């Protein structure tokens, strides 16, 4: 089994204001853990930026143009502070944000190409900014473009995938992914998340065209409720769907240490969920599974949870 990690230094140059939870240190902490000897088999790849046209697989030109138009210019003095502008209530742009987002998309597209060509069996995209809150026409929730949605469309357009399953275990509901695919039966969207919590969507009654399976969790629940939601709702939906590719929106903010939510998962829960999805990938997808980093705002909780997740990917 070959597991590839896709990352790039440009992700550290997407800047947010001081004190913002989605900050470059998140990625630094995660990548630092992966330098350990336990990850010597991890095939690390420097991601390539996607062309802007890739954004249009999931977003209209107007959305791309709006991001481009708001992008601040870098100062002439390289030592000067980089400007940061507020795009939406909690979403920001700095001079390298568009390049970082396009490189995050490029990483996901490269991962799709690699699992369909057989170069890798699975992959982890260690990128920022995250993407799952970005709706078809709106950037929000720290997200500019919906990376996992663009990856799904790329798999369909370029590799003939007929059925894509997206599993989102970020503690916040992936409203953007649901918005993009709610009327598309070729894409299954399954989400576990805390409710009530930002962005306020994700009820069980939100079913799309029979392709949306939300499993909201109450605050102050934990492993038992999470695993029950997976076992009773998420995994049966995947078994009935029989996907050609599984994509994971891998947020690690349901960890008990995370400051933005109250779901009390531990590293073992992410290991378990990863294993269950890998079993389905082996059964239906010739092992094809790609995980894309979303949230996770406590540095230790994020790095240890992602470490457990990637360790499971490496076990095949």
Burial class (CB in 10 A: 0-12, 13-18, 19+), 141: buried
- Residue from 59, 133, 154, 287 carrying the catalytic annotation: 133
How is residue 196 annotated by DSSP?
Answer: S
Q: How far is CA 45 from CA 8, 113, 139, 174, 290, in A?
A: 8, 13, 28, 27, 14
Reported as half-sphere exposure (CB side, CA atoms, 13 A), residue 244 has a value of 15
- Residue written as tokens 């597209």? 109
The answer to whether residues 171 and 258 touch, using CB atoms and an 8 Å cutoff, is: yes
Residues in CB range of 204: below 8 A, 6 or more apart: 214, 215, 216
193 part of the active site: no
End-to-end Cα, the chain, rounded Å: 6
Rounded Cα distance, 15 and 108, in Å: 21
Question: Hey, what's the torsion of the CAs at 32, 35, 39, 40, to 10 degrees?
Answer: 160
Residues recognised as catalytic = 133
């Amino acid at each position: 089994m070959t597991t590839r990690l896709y990352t790039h230094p440009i992700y550290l140059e997407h800047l947010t204001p001081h004190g913002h939870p989605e900050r470059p240190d998140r990625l630094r902490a995660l990548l630092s853990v992966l330098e350990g000897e336990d990850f010597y088999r991890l095939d690390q790849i420097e991601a390539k930026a996607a062309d802007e046209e890739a954004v249009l697989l999931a977003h209209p030109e107007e959305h791309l143009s709006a991001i481009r138009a708001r992008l601040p210019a870098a100062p002439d003095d390289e030592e000067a502070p980089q400007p940061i502008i507020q795009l939406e209530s909690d979403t920001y742009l700095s001079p390298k944000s568009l390049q970082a987002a396009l490189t995050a998309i490029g990483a996901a597209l490269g991962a799709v190409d690699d699992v369909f060509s057989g170069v890798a069996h699975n992959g982890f995209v260690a990128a920022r900014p995250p993407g799952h809150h970005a709706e078809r026409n709106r950037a929000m929730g720290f997200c500019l473009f919906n990376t996992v949605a663009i990856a799904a469309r790329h798999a369909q357009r370029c590799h003939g995938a007929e059925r894509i399953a997206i599993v989102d275990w970020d503690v916040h509901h992936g409203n953007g992914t649901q918005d993009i695919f709610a009327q598309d039966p070729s894409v299954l969207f399954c989400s576990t998340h805390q409710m009530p919590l930002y962005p306020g969507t994700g009820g069980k009654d939100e079913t799309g065209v029979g392709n949306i399976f939300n499993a909201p969790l109450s605050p102050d629940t934990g492993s038992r409720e999470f695993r029950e939601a997976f076992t009773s709702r998420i995994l049966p939906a995947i078994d009935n769907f029989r996907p050609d590719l599984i994509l994971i929106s891998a947020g690690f903010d349901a960890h008990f240490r995370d400051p933005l939510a109250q779901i009390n998962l531990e590293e073992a829960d992410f290991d378990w969920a990863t294993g269950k999805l890998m079993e389905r990938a082996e059964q239906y997808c010739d092992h094809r599974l790609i995980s894309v980093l979303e949230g996770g705002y406590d540095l230790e909780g994020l790095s240890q949870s992602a470490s457990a997740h990637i360790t499971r990917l490496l076990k095949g």
